[in-house]
Amino acid sequence: MSPIRNRELNSNWSWKQRELIVESVLDEIGADGWRAAQVYPSEIHVELLKSGLISDPYLGFNENKVQWIGKVEWLYKCSFDYTAEGDETHALLEFLGLDTLCDVYLNGHKILAAENQFQTHVVPWSCLPSNHRTPFFCTSSPPIISPRSSKPRWEESALDPQTLAILAGSMSERRSMTGDGTGCAIFISYQKIRLMDAFQGPELMTCGPYRPITLKTYSVRIQEAQMHALLSDENVPSLKVDVTLNQALDASLRIILSDANTKTVLKSEDVPVAASSITSVVSWDLNGIVKPWWPVGYGTQYLYTVSVILSVAGQTIDEITTRVGFRRVALVQEPLEEPDQYGTGTTFLFEVNGVRMFTGGSNWVPADNFLTTISPERYHAWLTLLRDGNQNMVRIWGGGIYEPDVFYDICDELGILVWQDFQFACGVYPAHDTFVASVRKEAEDNVKRLRHHPSIALFCGNNEDYQMVLQWSDVPSLPAVKLYEEVFPEVVASLTGPQPIPYHRGSPYGGKGWDTADPTIGDVHQWNIWGGKELPYHDYVKLGGRYVSEFGIPSHPEMKTIEYWMDGAGAEQRHAQSALMAQHCRAGTFERRFAILMNDNLRVTEDLETYVFNTRLMASEAVGYAYQMWRRKWGGPGKQYVRLSILPNPQRHLTKYSYRQGGVLVWQLNDCWPVTSWAIADYFLRPKPVYFTIARQLATFSVGVLRTVIKNRPNDRPAQFYEYGNFQSYGATLEIWGTNASLTSRAVTLELHCVDLNSTWTHTETHAVTLHPNQATELLAIPCPGPSRDNFTSPTGDAEFTTTYAVVVGARLLDAESGAVLARFSDWPQPLRFVEPVLLRDPKLTVSVDDTSGKVTVSAERPVKGLWLSAVGDGPDVKWSDNALDVMPGDPQVVVAQGLGGRGVGVAFLGKEKAHKL
């Protein structure tokens, strides 16, 4: 019997624009105009760009010049040879990704009408001849105007105008929301509108065979092999393997378990099989033989390979290998007995291998509008950036795609947990039988493909669809609850085995009556700072929930990225409100929203570089503050009561701690093109200040400071925790806490160093404290130190009031034995716009570089806010181990710069926002 043959059709592709005057698409086969494809898999924009037929749509205004591409039809074709070998009796064509609505022809016969980008399309091909042949493969599309509806989707909807502007497309079409306009696949797809407000992508509806196409020929094959890599409640690993063949025959199976070094760990004897479906080919107790897989920061990512070998008469006919990790994961939603500021409700947290973990991370959108350009190396760079930023979870947003296998393989290797949305976002999707059947297959295809990855921690039904109904519009019902509450949970439960992967109906989801904003149940998306009610970012402290799975503040990328998209534009475009800057920022009403946050916190400027610096500093401050406040609520197991010994203050109350907040995921990690967005690193993987701020907040050890102003009357300014501009206050109090993500207690020294910007006054004090394991620990609550009144002149001329309005408080955690710095944080009086330039006088900043080690040491004699380090001159990007630093006197900081290559170091900071070399 002949072994199975797998042949990827990765050559002899060509493409052309469809000629509408040609009546039959098959008549285009021999027509002129075909061009050889330059990449495979392929997308039409990439082909046009490589052929020099269009300008780069990511530069300048070029995006507007290529909209015609989505308004015409496109064709792809491929020829290949086939010669039968041995006793091959079956063949199939497997399409891993067709974007999206297209017809597939083989030798003049239509073999597939594809209409779901997210399915794996498998087409049996029977009656194979034994002689050499050259089949022809061509694709085409249905008409550009969809026959499914007699009027546009937006006319059928009762959605509000803002939502309609986002969703002017048919929700029946199963393709990514990362394109806009008409489009094509190997054939063609037609109009589908992208979530512009959320995704920040350009209007580039592309198409093509964006994932591999394979020809499989065989007599018998392994149709499916499911590896159940299990871990008991006592963390004892075991393995069970189920196998399905395409037909019953007299054969044998052998299972081999190998470690990461390909060394055989365990091997079965040949197991005779006579049926097409074999349950428990092996069922192994692996106690003491293999080790559990752990998320990053909690242990090692042990991975193993399971090989299933099918043999007939001693000859190997087929083999499937799958890499697995032994772990168990749970989504814990248990009642809280004691209320906090939100009430009681339930927890929402992840437990892996019996350990409850605060999951901090990012949302993920496709890393390029053209999916075929994202190489495995680029995926690895993005996910390594996330891991190196002390993040342990990534959420794959429901408006993008199910990522390719390499994405999840890398997450397995790096120990990154994956929250996987089904690809439904911000829409009122239908639930008629045909649509549900298509989506069920989509779900089955992807759950089967992903279920073996130890990194998969959650399948989630949708992004913001429940929220669309209850909070954003007057739509009376959500038909797709059939998907979210019946189809998806059934698929996940039935296909993920005896230890099912957790399922969550939607994000956000929780509360009574679909109240997706309920902070006591489920997860929330917190957009009331940037959008929504446009509140001050200091309100993040009271705007959390049991789990915040989306929130964020946009900022500009660095000037190097802006210069890229400027593409040589003149001075008239080099200001924050230019048309070209707007071309590369798609956030709804972004100028107004930026203005509110910027005017609240920083000084107004018309200089572009200063403005760019300020947006980056603002996002860093706001998002860092949110992470700090919300991680503080990870208080450890049980009920713990911490009474804060602070000055009497009616605004404060008894603080109760337990697992009140299970995690935070910022929107978003990455961009799909060069743009101003919420991304914490831009399209070129250049981290923004906010990336480093999050990394410090999610480090194994961190320290937090909350300053609360004691006001002289209840209605004296909003509660934004600042004294500047509110000099008639009675001082301030400080609350200091530390976080410890390790599973053991740590004895540390808490050091406070206070500096008055208005004088030479300083103050230092230390406290011996213990950080409890896997939780935040309250350390200190004291009046904010400040200059004595004897040497203090109040700006208001009234000596009765505060002396602390210009005091910067630096906190450090030092290892009790070695004195090494474990964490640091500095709290500046807010808002920063009230910090007068005279108070930011020359900080006597020094920067020294060791060219051999790449170590950059910075120190200052006065406090420095938001120090941004950059390379001076042209050259490759530098990888900084840390950046966006707050520097305190007497506390030099060392940063490693990879790739500096002898160049000097430029600096920018609050008060000196334009990069310069000292």
| Residue 63, domain member (yes or no) | yes
Nearest to residue 443, comparing CAs of 499, 408, 484, 385? 484
**Catalytic-residue membership of 73:** no
Confidence of residue 798 (pLDDT cuts 50, 70, 90): low
Q: Range with the lowest mean pLDDT among 83-97, 255-269, 370-384?
A: 83-97
Choosing from 285, 305, 324, the residue where a domain stops is: 324
Q: Where are the beta strands (DSSP E) in 478-523?
A: 503-504
Which residue reads 């530098």 in tokens? 878
CA quadruple 48, 52, 55, 56: dihedral positive or negative?
A: positive
Residues 210 and 191 in one domain: yes
Residues 849 and 790 in one domain: no
CATH number of the domain enclosing 730: 2.60.40.10
Condensed to tens digits (0 to 9), the pLDDT of residues 830-870 reads: 889 988 888 888 999 999 999 999 999 999 999 999 999 99
Structural domain of 283: 221-324
- Tell whether the model's pLDDT for residue 229 goes beyond 80: yes
Residues 283 and 173 in one domain: no
Residues 707 and 830 in one domain: yes
Backbone conformation region of residue 822, classed left if phi is above 0, alpha if psi is from -120 to 50, else beta = alpha
Q: Which amino acid is at 779?
A: L
Cα–Cα distances in Å, from 480 out to 174, 332, 426, 431, 495? Answer: 14, 26, 12, 5, 21
Residues 724 and 777 in one domain: yes
Cα–Cα distances in Å, from 802 out to 129, 150, 278, 342, 799? Answer: 92, 69, 77, 32, 8
| Residue 89, domain member (yes or no) | yes
Condensed to tens digits (0 to 9), the pLDDT of residues 164-221 reads: 333 333 455 665 655 432 222 222 222 222 333 345 688 888 888 999 999 999 999 9
pTM of the model: 0.92
What kind and span of H or E run contains 243? Answer: strand 237-245
Q: How far apart are CA 79 and CA 722, in angstroms?
A: 70
Choosing from 183, 215, 247, the residue where a domain stops is: 215
pLDDT for 655 equals 43
More confident residue, 833 or 293: 293
Q: What is the average per-residue pLDDT within 734-753? A: 97
Residues 41 and 138 in one domain: yes
Q: How far apart are CA 637 and CA 657, in angstroms?
A: 9
| Residue 861, domain member (yes or no) | yes
Contact between 304 and 319 under an 8 Å Cβ cutoff? The reply is: no
Chain centroid offset of residue 762 CA: 42
Choosing from 160, 180, 215, the residue where a domain stops is: 215
More confident residue, 29 or 777: 777
| Residue 713, domain member (yes or no) | yes
pLDDT for 746 equals 97
Residues 13 and 52 in one domain: yes
Task: Count the neighbouring beta carbons within 10 Å of the beta carbon of residue 673.
Answer: 22
pLDDT for 917 equals 93
CA quadruple 568, 571, 572, 577: dihedral positive or negative?
A: positive
| Residue 298, domain member (yes or no) | yes
Domain count within the chain: 4
3-class state of residue 629 by DSSP: helix
CATH number of the domain enclosing 96: 2.60.120.260
Residues 86 and 172 in one domain: yes
Q: How far apart are CA 251 and CA 4, in angstroms?
A: 14
More confident residue, 317 or 512: 317
Residues 140 and 28 in one domain: yes
pLDDT for 170 equals 47
Contact between 814 and 820 under an 8 Å Cβ cutoff? The reply is: yes
| Residue 168, domain member (yes or no) | yes
3-class state of residue 714 by DSSP: coil
Residues 111 and 159 in one domain: yes
| Residue 483, domain member (yes or no) | no
Query: Catalytic pick from 43, 413, 442, 464?
Result: 464
CA quadruple 657, 663, 664, 669: dihedral positive or negative?
A: positive
Contact between 327 and 238 under an 8 Å Cβ cutoff? The reply is: no
What kind and span of H or E run contains 164? Answer: helix 161-166
| Mean pLDDT of the residues in the chain | 87
Residues 785 and 882 in one domain: no
Q: How far apart are CA 513 and CA 562, in angstroms?
A: 45
3-class state of residue 520 by DSSP: coil
Chain centroid offset of residue 489 CA: 23
Condensed to tens digits (0 to 9), the pLDDT of residues 12-42 reads: 999 999 888 888 888 888 889 999 999 999 9
| Residue 891, domain member (yes or no) | yes
Annotate 866-880 with b (16+ C-beta within 10 A) or e (fewer): bbbbbbeeeeeebbb
Condensed to tens digits (0 to 9), the pLDDT of residues 577-607 reads: 999 999 999 888 888 999 999 999 999 999 9
Task: Count the neighbouring beta carbons within 10 Å of the beta carbon of residue 10.
Answer: 13
Residues 831 and 783 in one domain: yes
Cα–Cα distances in Å, from 611 out to 565, 585, 607, 614, 839? Answer: 17, 15, 6, 5, 20
